[in-house]
């Protein structure tokens, strides 16, 4: 799965953790990937700042010939000095790679840090980038560094964000929400589980209160006439009967499919359904279980094509103290095997399409479960009308 891994370095604690993690990971992979450590230094930026400050120098230093000479000395000092520092940052990386017989490269780029990291990621065709959450500019209240956050938003490949304070041992925690990106995170976690010989814990979190809160808000602004046009009572009933009662079942279904996939791959796995604001539940669960890595899709089930990072993933990125893997790909889990498949008539499928899209999957699940309980093999429009009537909608 991994042939080329990029590790941006800056000699910070989290960056050093990224280097050590990458070397250990590569040494445990049978066909060891090539590790490329990258340090970006900004000689031109320092020279620009030096020239901006020239106007503040005392009058005796304002001679143009003297300034020109100072610029030349400063340029040489900064360029050579920063490159020397950049080379020094690579020493530990090179020693670790040679000690583990891991293929490696030491790269240097001049320019704006996050811009050059993204350029190297794209031009180098890396499968994975491992980088520290915080750089040298961290303060006590820091949660995520500016460079790391900018890279996360612009990266097109997978990222593993490391923290020096993260657990060395523990389960791999995978968060699934039914999206292809979350199932890709599961797929990557399975690969890591084999390499690290670690079990997997899968969680799926749903928010049972959002729709109820939204309808309460709507009820305070609609007039009686608006309520009748909006069919407010019917819409509210739809949420109560389908969404609130079947949301847990829908997310439990995601868990079941994910667990079935991991077990089929020979991985030790457990699963837990969480109820509440997803990112909050994930953070709380991680605090309790202390996983080695959290795996999440970069975006979630409600993603659009132009979205750079999902809300829940972003909040976990900002608040967690655990290593965090962000999967950027898409993966479809194998279809669940079943011997009691239901057929849908054309009329039944047309009626299903008239259910609002946000409730359609849950409505379909409820209808099919009802049909199976009654021993039916076909879902018709008449049956769907009876289910609707029986449920009070």
Q: Which of 337, 359, 382 is the last residue of a domain?
A: 337
In a domain, 154, yes or no: no
In a domain, 227, yes or no: yes
Q: Considering only CA atoms, which of 248, 309, 322, 245 is closest in space to residue 282? A: 322
| Same domain membership, residue 382 and residue 266 | no
| Same domain membership, residue 296 and residue 173 | yes
Residue 69: what pLDDT?
Answer: 67
Q: How many domains does the chain have?
A: 3
Q: Contact at 8 Å (CB) between 368 and 379?
A: yes
| Same domain membership, residue 213 and residue 303 | yes
Give residue 350's domain range.
343-390
| Same domain membership, residue 329 and residue 234 | yes
Residue 213: what pLDDT?
Answer: 66
In a domain, 157, yes or no: no
Residue 10: what pLDDT?
Answer: 92
In a domain, 151, yes or no: no
| Same domain membership, residue 119 and residue 9 | yes
Rounded Cα distance, 175 and 291, in Å: 12
* Residues β-bridged to residue 379: 344
Ordered DSSP codes for 129-186:
EEEESS-TT--TT--S-HHHHHHHHH--SEEEEE-TTS-SS-PEEEE--S-HHHHHHH
In a domain, 230, yes or no: yes
* CA-only gyration radius of the chain, Å: 27
Residues 303-320 pLDDT 10s: 888 899 999 999 999 999
In a domain, 99, yes or no: yes
Question: With a cut of 50, which residues of the chain have pLDDT below it?
Answer: none
Rounded Cα distance, 385 and 241, in Å: 15
| Same domain membership, residue 140 and residue 5 | yes
| Same domain membership, residue 183 and residue 130 | no
In a domain, 152, yes or no: no
| Same domain membership, residue 360 and residue 322 | no
Residue 301: what pLDDT?
Answer: 87
Rounded Cα distance, 161 and 299, in Å: 16
In a domain, 328, yes or no: yes
Residue 130: what pLDDT?
Answer: 98
| Same domain membership, residue 134 and residue 7 | yes
Q: What is the largest CA-CA distance in the chain?
A: 97
Q: Contact at 8 Å (CB) between 279 and 315?
A: yes
| Same domain membership, residue 177 and residue 66 | no
Q: Contact at 8 Å (CB) between 291 and 170?
A: yes
CATH number of residue 351's parent domain: 1.10.8.550
Cα separations in angstroms, 140 against 47, 144, 152, 164, 259: 30, 11, 22, 14, 39
């Amino acid at each position: 799965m991994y042939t080329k891994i990029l590790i941006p370095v800056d000699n910070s604690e989290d960056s050093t953790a990224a280097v050590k993690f990458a070397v250990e990971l590569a040494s445990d992979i049978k066909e060891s990937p090539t590790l490329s450590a990258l340090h970006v230094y900004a000689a031109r930026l320092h020279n620009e700042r030096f020239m901006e400050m020239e106007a503040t120098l005392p009058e005796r230093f304002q001679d143009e010939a003297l300034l020109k000479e100072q610029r030349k000395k400063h340029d040489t000092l900064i360029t050579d000095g920063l490159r020397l520092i950049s080379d020094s940052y690579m020493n530990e990386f090179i020693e670790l790679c040679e000690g583990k017989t891991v293929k490696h490269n030491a790269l240097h780029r001049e320019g704006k840090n996050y811009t050059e990291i993204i350029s190297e990621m794209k031009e180098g065709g890396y499968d994975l980038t491992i980088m520290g959450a915080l750089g040298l500019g961290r303060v006590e209240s820091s949660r995520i560094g500016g460079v790391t956050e900018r890279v996360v938003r612009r990266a097109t490949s997978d990222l593993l964000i490391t923290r020096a304070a993260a657990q060395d041992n523990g389960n791999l925690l995978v968060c699934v929400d039914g999206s292809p990106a979350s199932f890709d995170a599961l797929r990557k976690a399975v690969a890591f589980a084999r390499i690290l010989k670690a079990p997997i814990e899968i969680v799926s979190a749903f928010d049972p209160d959002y729709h109820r809160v939204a309808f309460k808000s709507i009820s305070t602004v609609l007039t009686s006439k608006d309520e009748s046009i909006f069919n407010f009572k019917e819409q509210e009933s739809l949420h109560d009967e389908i969404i609130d009662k079947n949301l847990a079942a829908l997310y439990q279904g995601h868990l079941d499919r994910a667990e079935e996939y991991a077990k089929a791959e020979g991985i030790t796995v457990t699963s837990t359904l969480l109820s509440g604001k997803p990112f909050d539940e994930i953070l709380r669960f991680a605090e309790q279980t202390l996983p080695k890595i959290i795996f999440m899709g970069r975006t979630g089930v409600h993603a659009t094509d132009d979205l750079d990072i999902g809300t829940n993933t972003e909040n976990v990125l900002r608040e967690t103290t655990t290593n965090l893997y962000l999967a950027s790909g898409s993966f479809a889990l194998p279809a669940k095997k079943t011997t009691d498949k239901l057929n849908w008539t054309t009329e039944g499928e047309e009626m299903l399409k008239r259910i609002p899209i946000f409730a359609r999957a849950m409505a379909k699940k409820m209808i099919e479960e009802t049909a199976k309980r009654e021993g039916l093999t076909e879902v018709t429009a008449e049956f769907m009308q009876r289910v609707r009537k029986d449920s009070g909608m």
